[in-house]
A and B are shown apart, each in its own frame.
Chain A
Amino acid sequence: MPAGRDTSSPPAAHRLNHALREAGFAALIAIGLSFPILALGAEPDINNQLALQTRWSWMFTAAVLIGSARFFAVMLDSSRARLLAIAGLLCTAFGFGTWYFAGIADPKIVGGTIAAGVLAMLAAFPADKPEKNAHSAAKTPARPATNLSSTAASLFSAAGIGALIAFPLAMLWWFGSAGSLKWINNYGIQILIFVMLGWGLNIVVGLAGLLDLGYVAFYAVGAYTYALLATQFDLSFWICLPLAGIMAAFWGILLGFPVLRLRGDYLALVTLAFGEIIHLVLTNWSDLTNGEAGILSIPRVTFFGIPFTAGEDGFAHLFGLQFSPIHRTIFLFYLILALALITNFATLRLRRLPIGRAWEALREDEIACRSLGINTTNTKLTAFALGAMFGGFAGSFFAVRQGFINPNSFTFMESAWILAIVVLGGMGSQIGVALAAIVMVGGTEALRELDFLKQLFGQDFNPVQYRMLIFGLAMVLMMIWRPRGFVSTRTPSIFLKERKAVAADLVGEGHG
């Protein structure tokens, strides 16, 4: 929170001075940071040698944008006015960009957007009235008891599940069997995999408060368990699926047993190392895993034994449908949806059982737990093993979906991505984690669609390359505005009269 917000506002001239100084400072920092990223670029020239290119205009654009944003942040008090100003700023930048970078000189577009942007920025100043509730909330200690009506909540989740079940069929109907592939596969399945992984990790990080930086290891164990059992022993997916979960849980226990006695920060380090070790083993144990080349031609998913092929005994023929590869994709969608929902319902149920309450109590205060007769090592171990098991399920799904796996799918980036989903969603909140997975995975996919940016920044501009930059920026902004994630309140697992959400600042974050 910027200084001087709750003290009485300084005189206008002084404030302008202050805001200009802050803006200049922010712009300088932006220049410093963006110099190596934006201003300098290496591109292969005609002789295929890297040549240094300079893009000063990009750097100055960034500096101007960030400086102005800082200026508005200091000058404006209410968040509504700030939002208006920033929207105006972006609008102006867009208009300017179409003209300068993309070379579109249509006066209607350029002039219109710039004018609208400037107007919005100017309008922000009269709109700026200090928010009353911001101050009163700071003064009164009483928290608004958010009363979650349970019927509304269950209606909402029923509607959500209904929408998810209808999703592939709706896509099929809307886009046809070729056009819907992208939606069902890239958006639907990809997001659901991460929803499931997020929910699995949520047990460990969100409920039990144990920081696990190597969750992808269990995902890998699940994937390789299926891939190896299916290719070496011809076992079907439905037999391998539980085996993959058990195998992952087994590794979770094996790793957890020596480690969970340690303090939280050591746990984070050891899990980080474990993730790397699994990756290295998969890469180098060529006899078993075929190394970097990975495992090819993993048996594809079947409809409970009926293959999705064009032949006589294929799914389409037996059900009297026209053969289409989309059938398999739709089946995969329902499969991961079912797996994710199982994870969700198991977690929701566990939260209401003694073990789930013990996990949360552990996150709140481990010493108090021990004084109440709770065996904390076993309790942590169950959280770790169950989280690993769901990771293993997701892994075997990944293998059956891809039909090909290699160690590069299981890097630390993947762990970080899943952890980010859990933290962004709000630790412990199922719905928050699902939202975060949609935003992060769906957002990445959506970046591929932003073709209009090519018009803005030129043909060789690929928004996907800026994925990590945008992701990092989003994380920083989230940490400023919603440090506890999308859903930061905690829903009690039991109540006498009414279920009141617990305010975020009271809920513990666990160790490490």
Chain B
Amino acid sequence: MRWQSDPLLHVEHLTMRFGGILAVNDLSFTAGRGDITALIGPNGAGKTTVFNCITGFYKPTEGRIAFARDGRAADADVAALTQTSKRHGRSASGDIYLLERMPDFEISAQAKVARTFQNIRLFQGMTVLENLIVAQHNPLMQASGWTLLGLLGVGPYRARERDAIEKAKFWLNKINLLERADDAAGDLPYGDQRRLEIARAMCMDPVLLCLDEPAAGLNPRETADLNTLLCMLRDEQNTSLLLIEHDMNVVMQISDHVVVLDYGTKIADGAPAAIRSDPKVIAAYLGVADEEEAQAVAGDRT
């Protein structure tokens, strides 16, 4: 139960209101370091909204999102940081961030929380390789002396750029797209674009990677490949994953921990096996139109 023994993300009393709509209602959960944590729920349950709060695209109406980037943080340290007006503090094990206080680009750059989008957001008019290089913007920017040295052609920029290309090649190899490195990202088939978006996020060396429905629109073969890829990220790259997924096969196969949302409220939280047999979850899925999912959730009990 790593989400209890070594959590890296603490979401506490998160509430997000859009005018009259209560998209997320007093949600608390933790995600374990090195876990694949799945966030599931029927359409409109508020999953993407939770992601947007964690990654800073929305400012939560209420609540705290603490992120212990480097190692388990003592509650007292987080509480002490909350008392100050700072976004970033240190505990014995490393840096802690209060994500709800940070702008989106700092969350990805400093706290190392990367994400993908439900509707793929690649740089369509740039090549596959360029997409992966742009993802390494901040270290490269530093290497180019914030452009000044790079413009004059001095400094370590050339070497760092070569490293960046190597890293891009490494990931292209992992997602089997090395052959298409020089093609425009918008020219790739849908499934490849999904994998490229994951590789692009991985080029930032994230500690936590948030994937919004990575299997949407993939055929069974591609879905199986995706499962392998995600397990590889967890096991070889030591990246913790937060995953929104409708495909229950994916969720049950690869996740270590499942959090279930319905109408913005958490209705269940636990290991996949426990979720599968939770009557509230089955009711939530049976209550909505998507029969197939409900059956998939209930699947093993019959």
A-side interface residues toward B, CB under 8 Å?
143, 145, 346, 349-350, 353-355, 357-358, 360-361, 364-365, 367-376, 382, 490, 492-500, 502-503, 506-508
In the complex, which of the residues B57, B124, B183 contacts A500, with contact meaning CB atoms closer than 8 Å? B183
User: Among B57, B104, B123, B141, which residue has the most Cβ atoms of chain A within 10 A?
Assistant: B123
Question: What are 14 pairs between A and B in contact, CB < 8 Å?
Answer: A353-B150, A354-B144, A357-B126, A360-B123, A360-B126, A361-B126, A361-B137, A364-B125, A365-B121, A490-B125, A492-B127, A500-B127, A500-B182, A508-B124
Which of A371, A375, A496, A498: most chain B Cβ within 10 A?
A371
Number of contacts between A and B (CB, 8 Å)?
A: 139
Q: Are B105 and A374 in contact (CB-based, < 8 A)?
A: yes
Which of A355, A495, A502 interacts with B147 by CB under 8 Å?
A355
A460 to chain B, nearest CB (A): 50
Q: Determine which of B108, B127, B133 lies in contact with A502 in the assembled complex, contact meaning CB atoms within 8 Å.
A: B127
Tell me the complex Cα distance, A373–B55, Å: 11
User: Which residues in A have their C-beta under 8 angstroms from that of B110?
Assistant: 373
The residue from A350, A368, A374, A498 contacting B121, defined by CB atoms under 8 A apart: A368
Interface size on B, residues (CB 8 A): 44
Q: A354-B140, A354-B144, A368-B123 are in contact. Are A495 and B151 (CB under 8 A)?
A: no
Knowing A354-B137, A372-B134, A506-B125 touch, does A496 contact B169 (C-beta < 8 A)?
yes
Complex CA–CA separation, A360 to B140 (angstroms):
16
A360–B133 Cα distance when bound, in Å, is 12
Output the nearest chain A residue to B142 by Cβ-Cβ distance.
Answer: A354
Which residues of B lie under 8 Å from residue A494 when comparing CB positions? 127, 129-130, 133, 161, 165
Q: Contact at A495–B122, with CB atoms within 8 Å?
A: no
A365 / chain B contacts, CB cutoff of 8 Å: 121-124
Assess whether A496 is in contact with B182, with CB atoms less than 8 Å apart. yes
Most buried by B among A145, A361, A368: A368
Q: Which of A353, A373, A496, A499 contacts B204 (CB 8 A)?
A: A373
Q: Chain B residues near A507 (CB, 8 Å)?
A: 124-125
For the complex, give the distance between the alpha carbons of A497 and B181 in Å. 8
Residues of B within 8 A of A500 (CB): 127, 182-184
CB distance from A455 to the nearest CB of B (A): 49
**Once the chains are docked, how many angstroms separate the CA of A175 from the CA of B126?**
47
Looking at the complex, which one of A349, A373, A492, A493 makes contact with B151 (CB distance below 8 Å)?
A349
- Taking CB atoms, residues of chain A closer than 8 Å to B228 are none
Q: Is B117 an interface residue (CB 8 A)?
A: yes
- B residues neighboring A (CB under 8 Å): 55, 57, 104-106, 108-110, 114-115, 117, 121-127, 129-130, 133-135, 137-138, 140-141, 144, 147, 150-151, 157, 161, 165, 169, 181-184, 186-187, 200-201, 204
B115 proximity list for chain A (CB < 8 A)? 371
User: Considering the chains assembled together, what is the distance between the CA atoms of A373 and B203 in angstroms?
Assistant: 12
Report yes or no: B151 in contact with A370, Cβ–Cβ below 8 A.
no
A507 and B200 alpha carbons, distance in the complex (Å)? 19
Q: Assess the A374–B124 pair: CB atoms within 8 A.
A: no
Q: Which 5 A-B pairs have the closest CB atoms?
A: A373-B109, A507-B125, A506-B186, A364-B123, A373-B108
Enumerate chain A residues within 8 angstroms of B122, measured Cβ to Cβ: 365, 368
- The reply to whether B144 and A496 contact each other, CB–CB distance below 8 Å, is no
- C-alpha spacing A145/B140, complex, angstroms: 29
- Is there an interface contact between B133 and A357, defined as CB atoms closer than 8 Å? yes
A364 and B137 in contact, given A372-B204, A494-B165 (Cβ under 8 angstroms): no
> B55: which A residues are within 8 A, CB to CB?
371
- The residues of B that contact A354 with a CB separation of less than 8 Å are 137, 140-141, 144, 147, 150
Q: Which residues of A contact B127 (CB under 8 A)?
A: 492, 494-495, 500, 502
A373 and B121: CB pair below 8 A? no
From B124, B134, B186, B201, contact of A358 by CB (8 A): B134
- Is A371 in contact with B108, judged by CB distance below 8 angstroms? yes
Asked if B147 and A371 sit within 8 Å, CB to CB, the answer is: no
Contact B105 A497 (CB under 8 A): no
Asked, given contacts A496-B129, A496-B181, whether A353 binds B123 with beta carbons under 8 Å apart, the answer is no
In-complex Cβ contact of B184 among A353, A355, A376, A506 (8 A): A506
B126 touches A492 (CB 8 A): yes
With both beta carbons as reference points, the residue of chain B lying nearest to A356 in the complex is identified as B147
Q: Closest B-chain residue to A493, C-beta based?
A: B130
**CB-defined contacts of B186 to chain A, threshold 8 Å:** 506
Q: Kindly list chain B residues whose C-beta atoms are within 8 Å of the C-beta of A353.
A: 144, 147, 150-151, 157
Establish whether residues B108 and A497, one from each chain, have CB atoms under 8 Å apart when the complex forms: no
Nearest chain A CB to B240 CB, angstrom units: 17
User: Contacts A353-B144, A353-B150, A502-B126 known; A371 to B181 CB distance under 8 Å?
Assistant: no
Known: A365-B123, A496-B129, A502-B126. A357 touches B117 (CB 8 A): no
Bound complex: CA A501 to CA B182 (Å)? 9
Give Cα A319 to B122, complex, Å.
60
Which residue of the partner chain A has the closest CB to B131? A361
Query: Known: A143-B187, A354-B137, A361-B134. Contact between A371 and B121, CB under 8 A?
Result: yes
Q: Closest chain B residue to A492 by CB distance? A: B127
Which chain A residue lies CB-closest to B120? A368
Complex CA distance for A501 and B55, rounded to whole angstroms: 34
Output the nearest chain A residue to B145 by Cβ-Cβ distance: A353
Known pairs A371-B104, A371-B121, A373-B108. 18 more at Cβ < 8 A?
A145-B183, A350-B151, A355-B144, A358-B137, A364-B123, A364-B125, A364-B126, A365-B124, A368-B123, A369-B105, A369-B134, A372-B134, A372-B204, A376-B105, A494-B127, A494-B165, A500-B183, A506-B184
Counting chain A CB atoms within 10 Å of each CB, the highest count among B104, B181, B183 belongs to: B104
A346 CB to closest chain B CB, in angstroms? Answer: 7
Q: Which residues from A are CB-within-8-Å of B151?
A: 346, 349-350, 353
Closest to B135 in A: A372
How long is the Cα–Cα vector from A506 to B157 in the complex, in angstroms? Answer: 29
Alpha-carbon distance between A77 and B100 when the two chains are bound, in angstroms? 60
Instruction: Specify the chain A residue showing the minimal Cβ separation from B128.
Output: A496
Give A500's nearest chain B residue, CB to CB: B182
CA gap between A346 and B150 in the complex, in Å = 11
Chain A positions within 8 Å of B144 at CB level: 353-355
Given contacts A364-B125, A365-B123, contact A370 B104 (CB under 8 A): yes
Most chain B beta carbons < 10 A, residue from A365, A367, A494: A494
Residues on the A chain within 8 Å of B183, using CB: 145, 500
Chain A: CB-nearest residue to B109: A373
Say how far B42's CB is from chain A's closest CB, in angstroms.
Answer: 25
- Bound form: Cα–Cα A492–B186 in Å: 13
Q: A146 CB to closest chain B CB, in angstroms?
A: 12
In the bound complex, do residue A374 and residue B137 qualify as a contact, i.e. CB atoms below 8 Å apart?
Answer: yes
A504 → B minimal CB distance (Å): 9
Give B114's nearest chain A residue, CB to CB.
A371
Q: Which of A372, A490, A493 contacts B137 (CB 8 A)?
A: A372
